[in-house]
């Protein structure tokens, strides 16, 4: 078997469970922090909701907008929030803004993953902006946020308070690829992913600035040669950019898109777990 290392995996110990208890995970992408078109109030509502639910938080890609003056294709002064405008050190200011924005929620954040905007900063400016943001948050808050890749696995292991079986929730995430998909909502991308990867409960993708939640069933064979049916979800997380004059969506001819990520709810039963996905405005 060949050994591929492009997919980053992280394992976390979840809060112990008992029968009928619930655990929550907030998944989101495409915050595009620093863009004047981003509706930060919508993001904050989701993050505060995660705090109230004691949910773990995982963000996978385009957390920053990161449009810099040398990006001749996309940069205009009006595309930046006021905190970043009229600055020679826009990257430094972007790091400061991201840290200040995420700091109140840092104790609940497990993974910050990369997207095409972070990858562009790394490629053209030789700077891993997420690594720096994570380093500062970990030092300031005494937490242990992990740096995720463009794609990866996130596994939560939950121990039974009564000493029963340990259950796992496995999330495979990929920031996303390709252009906008106004008709299909990016649903066809999941068929490419599900053909390759196994063992997940949830597949999450972003990038296309639209939302979807699709239940499915995977079938495997146990050690006795009998079929085992596993419920899975394919989830597309949206963006938070308003349809304003500063938004690239208008010049590109895109339609207004819903805002929001996804809330993964795991309810534990005596003989297993039930996973559900909640999307929509908080």
Give whichever of 1-10, 76-85, 113-122, 177-186 has the largest mean pLDDT.
113-122
Q: Using CB atoms within 10 Å of the CB of residue 17, give its burial: 0 to 12 exposed, 13 to 18 middle, 19+ buried.
A: buried
Tokens coding 12: 């976390």
Q: Stretch 123-149: mean pLDDT, rounded?
A: 95
Q: Which residues neighbour 70 within 8 Å (Cβ) at sequence distance 6 or greater?
A: 124
Is residue 144 over pLDDT 90?
Answer: yes
Over range 100-127, report the average pLDDT. 94
β-partners of residue 205 are: 174, 236
Q: Which of residues 72 and 75 earns the better pLDDT score? A: 75
Q: What percent of the chain shows pLDDT beyond 70?
A: 86
DSSP string of the chain, one letter each residue: -----SSEEEEEEPPPB-TT-EEEEEEE----BTBTTB-HHHHHHHHHHHHHTT-EEEEES--B----TT-TTT--GGGB-TTTTT-S-HHHHHHHHHHHHHGGGGGGEEEEE--HHHHHHHHHH---HHHHHHHHHHHHHT--PEEP-SEEEEEEEE-BTTS---EEEEEEEE---SS--TTTTTTHHHHHHHTT--S-SEEEE-SSS--EEEEEEEEEE-TTS-EEEEEEEEEE--B-B--STT-HHHHHTPPP--B--EEEEEEEETTEEEEEEE-S--
Mean pLDDT of 244-263: 72
In 3D, which of 237, 184, 230, 173 has the Cα closest to residue 210? 237
Interatomic CA distance for residues 29 and 91, integer angstroms: 20
> What is the average pLDDT score of the chain?
86
Report field, pTM of the whole predicted structure over 0.85: yes
| pLDDT higher than 50, residue 240 | yes
pLDDT in tens, 17-62: 988 899 999 999 999 999 888 999 999 999 999 999 999 999 999 9
Higher pLDDT, 159 or 193: 159
Pairwise CA distance, residues 243 & 117, whole Å: 20
Asked whether the predicted pLDDT for residue 72 surpasses 50, the reply is no
CA–CA separation, 174 vs 193, rounded Å?
9
Confidence class of residue 4 from pLDDT cuts 50, 70 and 90? very low
What residues contact residue 127 under an 8 Å CB cut-off, 6+ apart? 91, 121
């Amino acid at each position: 078997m060949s050994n591929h290392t492009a997919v980053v995996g992280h394992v976390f110990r979840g809060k112990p469970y008992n029968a009928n208890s619930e655990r929550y995970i907030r998944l989101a992408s495409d915050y595009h922090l620093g863009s004047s078109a981003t509706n930060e109030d919508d993001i904050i509502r989701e993050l505060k909701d995660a705090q109230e639910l004691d949910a773990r938080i995982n963000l996978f890609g385009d957390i920053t907008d990161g449009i810099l003056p040398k990006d001749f294709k996309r940069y205009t002064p009006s595309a930046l929030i006021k905190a970043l405008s009229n600055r020679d050190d826009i990257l430094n200011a972007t790091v400061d803004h991201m840290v200040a924005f995420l700091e109140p929620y840092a104790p609940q954040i497990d993974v910050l993953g990369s997207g095409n905007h972070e990858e562009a900063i790394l490629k053209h400016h030789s700077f891993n902006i997420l690594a720096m943001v994570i380093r500062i948050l970990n030092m300031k808050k005494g937490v242990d946020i992990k740096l995720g890749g463009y794609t990866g696995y996130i596994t939560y292991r939950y121990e039974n308070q009564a000493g029963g079986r340990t259950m796992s929730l496995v999330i495979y995430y990929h920031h996303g690829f390709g252009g906008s998909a106004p008709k299909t909502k990016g649903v066809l991308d999941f068929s490419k992913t599900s053909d390759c990867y196994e063992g997940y409960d949830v597949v999450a993708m972003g990038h296309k600035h639209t939302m979807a939640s699709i239940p499915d069933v995977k079938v495997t064979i146990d050690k006795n040669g009998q079929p085992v049916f596993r419920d899975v979800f394919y989830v597309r997380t949206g963006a938070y950019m308003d349809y304003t004059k500063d938004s690239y969506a208008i010049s590109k001819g895109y339609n207004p898109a819903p805002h929001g990520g996804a809330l993964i709810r795991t309810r534990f039963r005596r003989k297993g777990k039930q996973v559900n996905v909640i999307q929509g405005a908080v």
